[in-house]
């Protein structure tokens, strides 16, 4: 490709993005270094006469294959969504934390549910004993969801919910609360994780067998494609795969292999790829190796664009764009010298931004010890804000594009990921690879090797196996109120005494009958939720029909 053609491409891109930049005229004069050097919107290798010209391969931000970002102007036009994953104890306490974070400048909610909720158990179930409200908020019914979201305008706030096996139930509760606020479903923006395949290999909060779980996911895709057009119907997660011990390459490979399975399942159910693919979202980890993480995000975008275009013949450009949320790496936080975690999180967050994330959660310094205090959560949020408003890294698009090191890492990660995907294809796809234990085995081996390196002092973790101190002071920790379990049980008892139980019995019967057919279950679940059937009651109906997954 000659220089004249490259210059013509650059001119065309500048003209296309000029109008988009003018949407934010108040920010145009901000783009200067501290020495008042103007910062261009994009830097290219057009004038480079020697060596490989990466512009030929990478193209421009906002253009296929999206290596340099899915939007033409990226953070020059709008910052990433700043979320802080939060939820603990009761709906009342979590609601107060959400309001606090929104007052501090958070731009989106991210809801953490307790373990019983994630597994489809009510708080008074014997399986829930000792776990109610511990690692997230307890949600037993629509009544709890109403309290959780009280005075939060759902037409103005984007909400992410980390929920998988019972995702259809929690999404139905969210829809019902919005309707009570006068907000119609088509105005709702947000994401449900809804990624069950990674639960079988990395996280463990599954309920139903894979086939039935895939049906529920496809039902959600179908329902939201017409009723919730702005809602991200799945957040295909590499985060938990990485937390379980995978490498960066495995994180991308196994996540995209799972995504391929979801796309294939939806197409098999009769959906057109361009109907649902634009609402697919991804969730990645940002770990410690700074440049590898940046390259990982760039490679993931490029691979996904090629997969959607070549394998699935997607025509809509939005179907080709890998949009992702990032969370800094919880597994890298140390209980020793917890203030060091502030530095780790800052570097990981910066890598996510330089890699082009669409939204970001920064972990708090005390999370290796307990749920974060308000003070720790504020420091974590301020970390994002300092990167956004003070560092200058958001002033130009893909500032590391063209770096010999970053581009070489991006190419190598892409090559290794594609080799993994080919291997999984040969095994019959992600579901078959999971059933054969292949993906789990690869993760376990990587986790073992990593831990062995730490124990042999071949990998340095500051404060853990090097640079230790004797007087290691711990910050003040958050303690979950031990009475939350009794509070939830009392609320459930009152609910069951005051609701229309005959109406609920009919709603659950209708759901059960529909589950034996090929019907979309979302309308039946929504009806049951609105009648104040509990999470456990709805889940148990589906357990009765679908059975429970038992790993071999």
How does pLDDT run along the chain (552 residues), one tens digit per residue?
566 776 777 777 777 777 665 555 555 556 666 557 677 777 665 444 444 455 556 788 999 999 999 999 999 989 999 988 777 888 999 999 999 889 998 888 889 999 999 999 999 999 999 999 998 999 999 999 999 999 999 999 999 999 999 999 999 999 999 999 999 999 999 999 999 999 999 999 999 999 999 999 999 999 999 999 999 999 999 999 999 999 999 999 999 999 999 999 999 999 999 999 999 999 999 999 999 999 999 999 999 999 999 999 999 999 999 999 999 999 999 999 999 999 999 999 999 999 999 999 999 999 999 989 999 999 999 999 999 999 999 999 999 998 888 888 899 999 999 999 999 999 999 999 999 999 999 999 999 999 999 999 989 999 999 999 988 878 888 887 778 899 999 999 999 999 999 999 999 999 999 999 999 999 999 999 999 999 999 999 999 999 999 887
| Confidence (pTM) | 0.89
> From CA 539, how far away is CA 172, in angstroms rounded?
13
pLDDT for the residue 518: 96
Q: How far is CA 59 from the centre of its chain?
A: 27
Structure tokens at 37: 């050097």
- Long-range contacts at 152-157 (CB < 8 A, ≥ 24 apart): 152/95, 152/98, 152/99, 152/102, 152/109, 153/181, 153/183, 154/178, 154/181, 154/183, 154/187, 154/188, 155/181, 155/183, 155/187, 155/188, 157/102, 157/108, 157/109
Q: Which residues pair with 397 in a beta bridge?
A: 42
pLDDT digits (tens, 9 = 90+) for 58-77: 788 999 999 999 999 999 98
CA angle 81, 86, 89 (to 5 degrees): 165
Looking at residue 17, its pLDDT comes to: 73
Classify 192 as helix, strand or coil: strand
| Cβ neighbour number for residue 456 with a 10 Å cutoff | 9
> Around Cβ 15, how many Cβ atoms within 10 Å?
9
Report the pLDDT value the prediction gives residue 431, as an integer from 0 to 100.
Answer: 94
Rounded CA-CA distance 180/175 in Å is 9
Domains and CATH numbers, the chain: 3-58 (no CATH), 81-455 (3.20.20.240), 492-546 (no CATH)
- Residues 6 or more apart whose Cβ sits within 8 Å of residue 510: 524, 527
Sequence-distant contacts of 15-20: CB under 8 A, at least 24 apart: 16/72, 17/41, 17/62, 17/72, 17/73, 20/72, 20/73, 20/77
Percent of the chain with pLDDT strictly greater than 90: 79
User: Given this model, what pLDDT does residue 83 score?
Assistant: 86
DSSP string computed for 392-409 = -TTSSBSTTTT-HHHHHH
Encode pLDDT of 161-173 as tens digits.
999 999 999 999 9
pLDDT of residue 35: 58
């Amino acid at each position: 490709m000659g220089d004249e053609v490259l210059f013509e491409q650059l001119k065309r891109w500048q003209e296309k993005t000029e109008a988009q930049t003018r949407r934010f005229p108040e920010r145009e004069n901000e783009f200067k270094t501290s020495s008042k050097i103007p910062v261009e919107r994009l830097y290219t290798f057009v004038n480079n006469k020697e060596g490989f010209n990466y512009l030929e391969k990478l193209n421009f931000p906002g253009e296929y294959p999206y290596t340099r970002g899915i939007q033409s102007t990226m953070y020059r036009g709008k910052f990433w969504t700043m979320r802080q994953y939060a939820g603990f104890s009761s709906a009342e306490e979590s609601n107060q934390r959400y309001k606090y974070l929104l007052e501090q400048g958070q731009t989106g909610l991210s809801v953490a549910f307790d373990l019983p909720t994630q597994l489809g158990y009510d708080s008074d179930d014997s399986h829930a004993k000792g776990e109610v409200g511990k690692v997230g908020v307890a949600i037993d019914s629509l009544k709890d969801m109403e309290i959780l979201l009280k005075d939060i305008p759902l037409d103005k706030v984007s909400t992410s919910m980390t929920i998988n096996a019972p995702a259809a139930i929690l999404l139905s509760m969210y829809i019902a609360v919005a309707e009570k606020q006068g907000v119609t479903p088509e105005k709702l923006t947000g994401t449900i994780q809804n990624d069950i395949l990674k639960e079988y290999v990395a996280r463990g909060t599954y309920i139903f067998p894979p086939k039935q779980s895939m049906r529920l996911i496809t039902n959600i895709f179908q329902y939201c494609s017409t009723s919730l057009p702005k809602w991200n119907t799945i957040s295909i997660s590499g985060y938990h795969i990485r937390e379980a011990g995978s490498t960066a390459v495995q994180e991308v490979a196994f996540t995209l292999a799972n995504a391929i399975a979801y796309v294939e399942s939806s197409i098999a159910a009769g959906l057109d790829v361009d109907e649902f693919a634009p609402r697919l979202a991804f969730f990645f980890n940002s770990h410690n190796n700074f440049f590898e993480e940046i390259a990982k995000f760039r490679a993931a975008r490029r691979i996904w664009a090629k997969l959607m275009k070549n394998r699935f013949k997607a025509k809509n450009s939005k179907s080709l764009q890998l949009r992702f949320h990032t969370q800094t790496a919880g597994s890298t936080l140390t209980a020793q010298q917890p203030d060091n975690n502030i530095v780790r999180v800052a570097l990981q967050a910066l890598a996510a931004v330089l890699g082009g994330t669409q939204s970001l959660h920064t972990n708090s310094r005390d999370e290796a010890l307990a749920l974060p205090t308000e003070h720790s959560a504020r420091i974590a949020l301020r970390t994002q804000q300092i990167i956004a408003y003070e560092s200058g890294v958001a002033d130009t698009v893909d500032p590391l594009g063209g770096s010999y090191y970053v581009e070489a890492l991006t190419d190598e990660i892409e090559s290794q990921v594609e080799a993994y995907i080919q291997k999984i294809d040969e095994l019959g796809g992600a579901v078959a690879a999971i059933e054969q234990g292949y993906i789990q085995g690869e993760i376990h081996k990587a986790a073992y090797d990593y831990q062995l390196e730490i124990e042999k002092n071949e990998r340095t973790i500051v404060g853990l196996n090097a640079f230790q101190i004797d007087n290691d002071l711990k910050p003040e920790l958050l303690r979950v109120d031990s009475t939350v379990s009794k509070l939830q049980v009392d609320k459930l008892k009152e609910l069951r005494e005051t609701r229309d139980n005959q109406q609920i019995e009919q709603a659950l019967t209708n759901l059960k009958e529909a589950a034996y057919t090929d019907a979309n279950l979302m309308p039946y679940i929504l009806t049951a939720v609105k009648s104040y059937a509990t999470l456990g009651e709805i889940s148990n109906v589906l357990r009765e029909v679908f059975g429970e997954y038992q790993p071999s």
